[in-house]
Structure 1
Amino acid sequence: MASKESEAVRRHWESVREPKDQLERERADHRWAELTTEPEDVDYLAVPGRPALWIVPHGAATDRVLLCLHGGGYISGSRYSHRKLFAHMAKAVGVRALVFDYSLAPEQIHPVQVDEAVDTYRWLLDQGIAPEHIVFTGDSAGGGMSITTQLRARAAGLPVPAGAMPFSPWIDFEASGSTYDSNRDTDSFFHRDLVRGLARIFLGPEGSPRDPSVNPTYGDLTGLGPIYIQVGADEVLLDDARVLAAAADKAGVDVRLDVFPGMQHTFQMAAGRAPEADDAVRRMGQWGRKVLGL
């Protein structure tokens, strides 16, 4: 049974609706951010010339970085909605984190978002951070981008990072997974028609849901670093996580999948409040430290 603190995540998903305009997006971001406590001993530093924040836990390693890709269905979310969550994760790993804003749909559609993520990764490499000292992480749409950005970056001639930690990753833009049916009554917000509608907004009239930079399981995952996936057992995107894990394993990638009983989509947003979220962040911290050699 989910803790009473985790029930706040369920109530959040029950209360939100698809944002209609920029004001509604900003309000949704604030409601999202309210789920997460403000972690202690963390500084946030603006990045001159870029829509990004450095998240700097006190005493963190300066030569290793989490590159953070926020979720929001490609229509919402920002560095502000997710900064506290990624700060908890950065503290758990003991490194700095970089969280940035990418363009949102429908004003900008695929592949703008993944190209901006590649550009941010390139910028990070240009700052002197070695690829083996970078781990990508992200939730939902950002979780999918933590893999598609690697494929896009590799195609552009960039080295792949040390690994990735996607949680509740959204990769199936056709919403074909069986858990859309089996978890229909346990997921508090998402359902097949909603997800397909978000996919249409993001892809536009020309985009394909089977583009490897949209759904990485249609690409070649061979040679990627280790992947650690977390997902809630009650969410309809459970099969997205399972399919991604199976594809990575088939490609010879070291992959770990943890399914959390009774949990909703991106339940980690309750970090600092809910024991399940804190346990998930702790696990990511342990995994991330190992992959980054800390």
Structure 2
Amino acid sequence: MREYRHGGRGPRAWLIRMLCRIFVKPTLAWWPLRGPLSRMMPLVNLVLRVVPRLRSTEVERVDGGSWRGELVKPRGAGDITGAAGAVLYLHGGAFLFCGLATHRRVVERLVLRTGLPVFSVEYRQLPKGRLDASLADATEAFRWLVARGIKGESIVCVGDSAGGHLAFALALKASGADLARPAGVVGLSPWLDFDSVAKQAHRNVRRDVFIPAKRLSRVGVLCAGDGTGVVDAVLSPVNGDLAALPPVLIQCAEDEVLRCDAELMADRLGAAGVPHKLQIWQGQVHAFPVLGHVLPESRAALDEIAAFVGEVLDTETARSA
């Protein structure tokens, strides 16, 4: 099912779009992907560590060796063993940057809206690890939740951008491994197809104020290339055995270039008979639900995610924040 969410023309949405157009897109277009400057990308996450946490949540830090995580719960919720379910959150950042701190606010708000523990995972990214390492870390984080007493079939995988890729890839992997199929998958502006031919021809190449589309191919090759500049099509979730997937919710911005991936995945999910919903939001930027502390439309999108989580787990959502 495809839904168009109109609106998003308020002053805050306009300001976010202008800031992205002036600062974010040019920076992402020209920042070196290799060399000394490329190693400064993690500083974004380091700087945002000073952001205070919401007092209504509590955090348990997890060291997984090659990955780190934060299990965020409603304050006073107690141990998660036997909980009705949990959310595994995989942050975006083009497999290059971002982490636990950059996505702290969206994770906390998902906790308060669902009433469930949310496990936010900082997986290996370039240059420390390529796509296979990122997916391996996400898989181990899923196993960690199961080992803590959450049934695999009661976990909802959520991710934005590159994290959306991992959320789908993890759910697909579960159908051929010793993993329970998750209860659902949520992709926020997910990057699902490493083949950028269709995206380069899409009208949103010019409209997107966030992502420089020409860089997608280059980053894809760095993440998953075979050494000759080619990425195996099997590594793109849109080309997987989608019939094995649980229910799916995808949210994207009307004018972003990754709308192309969102619509392609929705079409293929429909052909595979997978229950799904694609929401296309007007006036927003790439991965806008992450900005729930800033934009009313982002908070509305988080309400939709919480409702979806409640539906697939057959639980009631808690409250808004």
Q: TM-score, normalised by structure 2?
A: 0.83
Partners of 2:38 and 2:21 in 1: how far apart?
Answer: 19
Spell out, residue by residue over 1:217-240, the C-alpha distance to the aligned partner (whole angstroms, 9 max, x if none): 211011321000000001011011
Structure 1 274/37 Cα, relative in aligned 2: closer, same or farther at 3 Å?
farther
1:230 is the counterpart of 2:245: no
Letter of the structure 2 residue corresponding to residue 191 of structure 1: P
Partners of 1:70 and 1:241 in 2: how far apart?
Answer: 17
Partner of 1:113: 134
Partner of 2:4: none
The one of 271, 279, 291 equivalent to 1:258 is 279
Partners of 2:44 and 2:259 in 1: how far apart?
Answer: 24
Partner of 2:121: 100
Residues 172 and 244 in structure 2, CA contact (< 8 A), matched pair in contact too: no
Partners of 1:236 and 1:94 in 2: how far apart?
Answer: 33
Partner of 1:150: 171
Letter of the structure 1 residue corresponding to residue 74 of structure 2: P
Letter of the structure 2 residue corresponding to residue 58 of structure 1: R
1:3 is the counterpart of 2:10: yes
Partners of 1:268 and 1:33 in 2: how far apart?
Answer: 20
1:47 is the counterpart of 2:47: no
Structure 1 162/197 Cα, relative in aligned 2: closer, same or farther at 3 Å?
same
Once the two structures are overlaid, the 10-residue window that deviates more, 11-20 or 268-277, is 11-20
Partner of 2:218: 197
1:184 is the counterpart of 2:205: yes
Partners of 1:143 and 1:96 in 2: how far apart?
Answer: 19
Residues 115 and 152 in structure 1, CA contact (< 8 A), matched pair in contact too: no
Partners of 1:15 and 1:32 in 2: how far apart?
Answer: 18
Partner of 2:43: 27
Partners of 1:13 and 1:79 in 2: how far apart?
Answer: 25
Letter of the structure 2 residue corresponding to residue 42 of structure 1: T
Residues 199 and 205 in structure 2, CA contact (< 8 A), matched pair in contact too: no
Deviation at 1:74, TM superposition (A): 0.3
Letter of the structure 2 residue corresponding to residue 209 of structure 1: V
Once the two structures are overlaid, the 10-residue window that deviates more, 180-189 or 6-15, is 6-15
Spell out, residue by residue over 1:179-218, the C-alpha distance to the aligned partner (whole angstroms, 9 max, x if none): 7531123211323311111112211434853443x31121
Partners of 2:52 and 2:303 in 1: how far apart?
Answer: 15
Residues 210 and 218 in structure 1, CA contact (< 8 A), matched pair in contact too: no
Residues 179 and 239 in structure 1, CA contact (< 8 A), matched pair in contact too: no
Partner of 2:231: 209
Partners of 1:37 and 1:269 in 2: how far apart?
Answer: 16
RMSD over aligned Cα, in angstroms?
A: 2.5
Mark the runs of 5 or more structure 1 residues left unpaired by the alignment.
Answer: none
1:15 is the counterpart of 2:23: yes
Structure 1 240/14 Cα, relative in aligned 2: closer, same or farther at 3 Å?
farther
Partners of 2:205 and 2:74 in 1: how far apart?
Answer: 39
Letter of the structure 1 residue corresponding to residue 224 of structure 2: L
1:274 is the counterpart of 2:291: no
Partner of 1:242: 263
Percent of counterpart pairs with the same letter? 26
Partners of 2:52 and 2:302 in 1: how far apart?
Answer: 13
Mark the runs of 5 or more structure 2 residues left unpaired by the alignment.
Answer: 1-7, 316-321
Query: Secondary structure of 1:95's partner?
Result: coil
1:161 is the counterpart of 2:182: yes
Structure 1 90/14 Cα, relative in aligned 2: closer, same or farther at 3 Å?
farther
Q: TM-score, normalised by structure 1?
A: 0.90
Partners of 2:201 and 2:9 in 1: how far apart?
Answer: 21
Deviation at 1:96, TM superposition (A): 0.5
Deviation at 1:176, TM superposition (A): 2.6
Partners of 1:129 and 1:4 in 2: how far apart?
Answer: 42
Once the two structures are overlaid, the 10-residue window that deviates more, 259-268 or 80-89, is 80-89
Larger Rg: 2
Query: Secondary structure of 1:164's partner?
Result: strand
Partners of 1:136 and 1:130 in 2: how far apart?
Answer: 13
